[in-house]
Amino acid sequence: MYRKGNKWTKQKRRIVVVTVVLVLFSVVTLVTSRSASRIEIIFKDTIANLEYYMIKAPAQYVTGLFEEYNDLKDVYEENAKLKEQLDNLARESAMNEVLTNELNDLKEMMEIDYLPTEYQVKYTNVIARDAQSWNNQVTINLGKSSGVQEGMAVVNAQGMIGTITNVSEISATVSLLSSETAKSQLPVMILSGEDEYYGLLNRYDINTHKYSITLLSDVEKIEKNAKVVTSGLGGAGKSPKGILVGTVENYTSGDDATESVCDVTPSVDFDSLNDVAVVQRVNSQ
């Protein structure tokens, strides 16, 4: 009876110790804002991948079947449109080949190996989103084993959505450009008519729903709806030049004391992010 009681007290003591350790660990994390350790990242990625491949992907496949059945009704009209575009495709392919050859000749003459606009893309999809909507991060199923590195740009069909901030072996975390507190500034370029202006994308303004860009160049005037693209000046391994970020909505010129700021409408619809691609600069291989 005494031995059973003693054993029960030991077990209770162990439970109390584990609970206190977990609470202290959590308080330390909260106070010091420490980033996740390698074990936590591996554990999180394992669970995220298991959930995706065992539950979410099959469910998505089934819902996709119903959507495809609905899309079948529009096949005839889409087919007619695509046939028209095919006629133009041959002409554009030929022009593309001519321009590529000219570019290669010029690169050889100038002794340039890679241009900042040259990149490759690796297609992937979003496997998990943050449970709470405050962090503006998603997880993709490409990691170090696929050549993904921190700082690489992530895009979808509409433009740039964010950058890779954390990489594990089989997955990576993407911090979206819609984050109110960006971890790093994105170098961008504004194409206003024949002029090009350089700036840094600081953050996303939750009240105006626009990007806030600080201009680094002296600017006289910026056209409304001028395109904003990545400038490629972040260094090797970061975003290449020419990826669409958004269009200018308005511009506030600053004096000596204040900086010039541009409000930019995002090109991407952040509400539908499923199929994305990681952009890899050619000269970062």
Partner 1 sequence: MRKRVQDSYLMKCFFIVFLCFVADSTIHYFLPYNFTKTSITITSCLGLMMFALLVRTIVEGAERYFFAAVCSVYYSIVYANSLAIYILIYCLIAFVRSYLFKLDTLNIFESMIFCVLTIFAQECIVYWLMWITNMTRYPMVSFVVMQLIPTLLFNGILSIGIYWIYNKVKIEVE
Residues that bind partner 1 (CB under 8 A): 8, 11-12, 15-16, 18-19, 22-23, 25-27, 29-30, 35-36, 40, 43-44, 47-48, 51, 55-56, 59-60, 63, 128-137, 176, 178, 180-181, 204, 206-207, 209, 266, 270-271, 273
- Residue with Cβ nearer partner 1 (117 or 179): 179
Q: How far is the CB of 61 from partner 1 (least distance, A)?
A: 13
138: how many CB neighbours lie within 10 A of its CB?
23
174-189 as b/e: b if 16+ CB within 10 A: bbbbbbeebeeebbbb
Which structure tokens are listed for 267? 């090109």
Q: How far is the CB of 133 from partner 1 (least distance, A)?
A: 5
CA separation (Å) from 3 to 8, 59, 156? 9, 52, 65
CA distance 153 to 145: 17
Element (H, E) at 22: helix 2-32
Which structure tokens are listed for 85? 């575009």
- Residue with Cβ nearer partner 1 (23 or 94): 23
Q: How far is the CB of 195 from partner 1 (least distance, A)?
A: 29
- Residue with Cβ nearer partner 1 (141 or 178): 178
Q: How far is the CB of 187 from partner 1 (least distance, A)?
A: 22
Q: How far is the CB of 222 from partner 1 (least distance, A)?
A: 23
Which structure tokens are listed for 240? 């290449």
CA distance 83 to 68: 21
Q: How far is the CB of 39 from partner 1 (least distance, A)?
A: 9
254-273 as b/e: b if 16+ CB within 10 A: eeeeeebbbbbbbbbebeeb
Alpha-helical segments (H) within the chain: 2-32, 38-51, 57-71, 75-110
Q: How far is the CB of 12 from partner 1 (least distance, A)?
A: 6
- Residue with Cβ nearer partner 1 (265 or 284): 265
CA distance 207 to 223: 23
CA distance 210 to 212: 6
- Residue with Cβ nearer partner 1 (64 or 235): 64
Q: How far is the CB of 120 from partner 1 (least distance, A)?
A: 26
- Residue with Cβ nearer partner 1 (36 or 121): 36
Nearest to 147 by CA among 126, 130, 124, 127: 124
Residue 156 in contact with residue 266, Cβ under 8 Å?
no
